[in-house]
Structure 1
Amino acid sequence: MASTHTKIGDFTFDNCLMNAAGVYCMTREELAEVDASAAGSFVTKTGTLTKRAGNPEPRYADTTLGSINSMGLPNLGYQYYLDYVIELQNQPNSKNHFLSLVGMSPEETHTILKAVQASDYHGLVELNLSCPNVPGKPQIAYDFETTEAILTEVFTYYTKPFGVKLPPYFDIVHFDQAAAVFNKFPLTFVNCINSIGNGLVIDDETVVIKPKNGFGGIGGDYVKPTALANVHAFYQRLNPSIQIIGTGGVKTGRDAFEHILCGASMVQLGTILHQEGPAVFERITNELKAIMDEKGYKNIEDFRGKLQYMN
């Protein structure tokens, strides 16, 4: 049978599927469930300098074609997650993991990353440059000057494996500009995409979530074409040493296959994981392997990035 084994940087994973930051990753208990599942890894909730309660509820709703959320970065603080991934990495036969982080200001971000640099953690870190749901705070990655300034400072002191979580881009010139920034740095990976920000879902005459008068990040079926476009655009533009994690609209093995075809080395599940729980990893893995077997692919490198165009 086909193998879904993959690599990000120098780290190996038995399966290319994992959770997306924000889903099934708030507590140690949730992370342990993902870790015990068929998933190849987990990423923690995006940890901030101190614990955050997040936005008022209801702040998440399932919809006909996906989901909408305005969570507001609820988390237990970066130290909670850092302690857990260090604990796990010291266990025999532990999977490799991702620690998701962001500060509420550049200064906070550097404080957190300096603490991780000084810690015993030697795994992957994902800096979340794409939080669309914090009132009064823009998405960092839409400001290329700020993004470059932050990364320039980060790489003066941070020497461990490091990647960034990105919002969706919609203009070809923005792919060009963003890639030009990222190619200046020794990034291990980029993750495309976070939810599409500031959608609006209505039930009868009322919005379905409370924060921001109903505006929230859209996930699920709605976002897959945008996610695939972002994965492939960056696969075409980034240095080959920078790998891509594909996120957005994955609920079947076929969806995961398309992300890999566009260039993704790993694929994250968000909305469908929220809806079905960690058992979903086994189902989607089996569906992906069935497609690979049918096409004669032994591993994901046989078809990764080999999207075909019309003549």
Structure 2
Amino acid sequence: MADISTTLAGVKLPNLLFNASGVCCQTEADLKLMVESESGALITKSATVEQRDGNPAPRYTPLPNGIGSINSMGLPNEGYEYYLEYAKKYDYNSEKPLFISLSGLSLDDNVKMCKAFVDAKLPCVLEINYSCPNVPGKPQMGYDMEAMEKSLSVLAPLIKKPFGIKLPPYFDIAHFDQAAAVFNKFDNLAFVTCINSVGNGLAIDFVTEQALIKPKDGFGGLGGLMVLNTALANVNAFHRRLPGKQIVGVGGVVSGKEAFLHVLAGASAVQIGTMLKEEGPGVFARIAKELSDIMVAKGYKTLEDFRGKVKTL
């Protein structure tokens, strides 16, 4: 067996795979499934200050031929205090690190939530979500460089410990450069997670001529295999631009092959979203074995042997 353990934000993961925030992580029952799975870590649903029901259903659907999914969930969550209480009673000796996702609807919200977790002095790792594309009337902060820098300048010194941020996909080299220039200003910003879903796609049923999801007139975030190449580009772009920081790759992982490509592009850990939703928590054991088999076949013993070593023409 190859060694697929990793370290993220100074915390050891027995393997590099865990859930993408938003999948199998809203309730304690969901999180129990993650703890019992063969994931290397778990992350909670992005929390707001107050509990949210999210957008009306149907708000998620897989797309034909296994190409991916579309969703417009609208940040359904139990409110940050629910996840804070969960974090307080979590068994940190389980060898499975706990990451907490926070997605305040304002900077004041994020300050309030971060302060609560900091004051609790817990060994969980915070991730601030700057990339929720499905809350009506709320643009993604990840596309506003000035707002992100202002937010980080307040939150980074408050959090003190290593933390991460969840990013939307970027599509322009100039945006990679601008975003990296912001992120490199904050030493305890330890990792960036990319990508969140590709925002505001539209899926239409050919027979009924109807949008497949209800919120936002059918517009929603795209995930799954069809976003793999966008995800790999973002992982590699930030791997090149953020020396000393780590990348969590997410997007398009349906087998060990895609997980391998994420690491090759520069990922230190890999999250699974659509495939976890469709296959269930058993997906981690399958993909971990597939990745290990690929590494053995290629002669790689550890992830470090090939991380970030994609060849260019």
TM-score (norm 2): 0.97
1:277 to 272, 276, 280: 280
1:306 corresponds to: 309
Question: Bigger CA drift: 148-157 or 199-208?
Answer: 148-157
Instruction: Assess if the C-alpha contact under 8 Å between 2:14 and 2:95 holds in 1.
Output: no
Q: Distance in 1 between matches of 2:284 and 2:227?
A: 20
Does residue 168 in structure 1 map to residue 172 in structure 2?
no
Instruction: Assess if the C-alpha contact under 8 Å between 1:21 and 1:45 holds in 2.
Output: yes
1:249 to 231, 243, 252: 252
1:230 to 204, 227, 234: 234
2:117 corresponds to: 116
1:142 corresponds to: 143
AA paired with 1:96?
P
Which string of whole-angstrom CA distances, capped at 9 and with x for unpartnered residues, describes residues 112-161 of structure 1?
A: 11111111322211100000000000000100000000000112322122
The 4+ residue runs of structure 1 with deviation greater than 6 A are none
1:95 corresponds to: 96
Instruction: Assess if the C-alpha contact under 8 Å between 2:9 and 2:163 holds in 1.
Output: no
AA paired with 2:80?
Y
Which string of whole-angstrom CA distances, capped at 9 and with x for unpartnered residues, describes residues 26-85 of structure 1?
A: 111111111111100011000110100000000001102100000000000111112212
Instruction: Assess if the C-alpha contact under 8 Å between 1:123 and 1:160 holds in 2.
Output: no
2:131 corresponds to: 130
AA paired with 2:276?
L
Q: Distance in 2 between matches of 1:86 and 1:99?
A: 12
Instruction: Assess if the C-alpha contact under 8 Å between 1:106 and 1:150 holds in 2.
Output: yes
1:202 to 176, 201, 204: 204
- Secondary structure of the residue aligned to 1:84 is helix
2:40 corresponds to: 40
AA paired with 1:258?
L
AA paired with 2:200?
N
Q: Distance in 2 between matches of 1:155 and 1:307?
A: 31
- Secondary structure of the residue aligned to 1:73 is coil
1:52 corresponds to: 52
Instruction: Assess if the C-alpha contact under 8 Å between 2:114 and 2:159 holds in 1.
Output: yes
- Secondary structure of the residue aligned to 1:234 is helix
- Secondary structure of the residue aligned to 2:30 is helix
Q: Distance in 2 between matches of 1:79 and 1:62?
A: 31
- Secondary structure of the residue aligned to 2:252 is coil
AA paired with 1:207?
A
Q: Distance in 1 between matches of 2:227 and 2:166?
A: 16
Q: Distance in 1 between matches of 2:95 and 2:15?
A: 14
Does residue 85 in structure 1 map to residue 96 in structure 2?
no
Would you say how many aligned residue pairs link Structure 1 and Structure 2?
308
2:61 corresponds to: 61
Instruction: Assess if the C-alpha contact under 8 Å between 1:227 and 1:247 holds in 2.
Output: yes
Q: Distance in 1 between matches of 2:126 and 2:78?
A: 17
Q: Distance in 2 between matches of 1:9 and 1:26?
A: 23
AA paired with 1:209?
I
- Secondary structure of the residue aligned to 1:157 is helix
Q: Distance in 2 between matches of 1:87 and 1:259?
A: 33
Which string of whole-angstrom CA distances, capped at 9 and with x for unpartnered residues, describes residues 193-232 of structure 1?
A: 0000000000030000000000000001110000000000
Give identity over the alignment, percent.
53
1:213 to 187, 212, 217: 217
1:105 corresponds to: 106
Instruction: Assess if the C-alpha contact under 8 Å between 1:21 and 1:46 holds in 2.
Output: yes
In structure 2, list runs of 5 or more residues that go unmatched: none
1:76 corresponds to: 78
Q: Distance in 1 between matches of 2:240 and 2:10?
A: 22
Which string of whole-angstrom CA distances, capped at 9 and with x for unpartnered residues, describes residues 274-306 of structure 1?
A: 000000101101100000000111111110001
Q: Distance in 2 between matches of 1:225 and 1:185?
A: 28
- Secondary structure of the residue aligned to 1:281 is helix
CA RMSD of aligned residues (A): 0.9
- Secondary structure of the residue aligned to 1:188 is strand
**Deviation of the 1:94 alpha carbon:** 4.0
TM-score (norm 1): 0.97
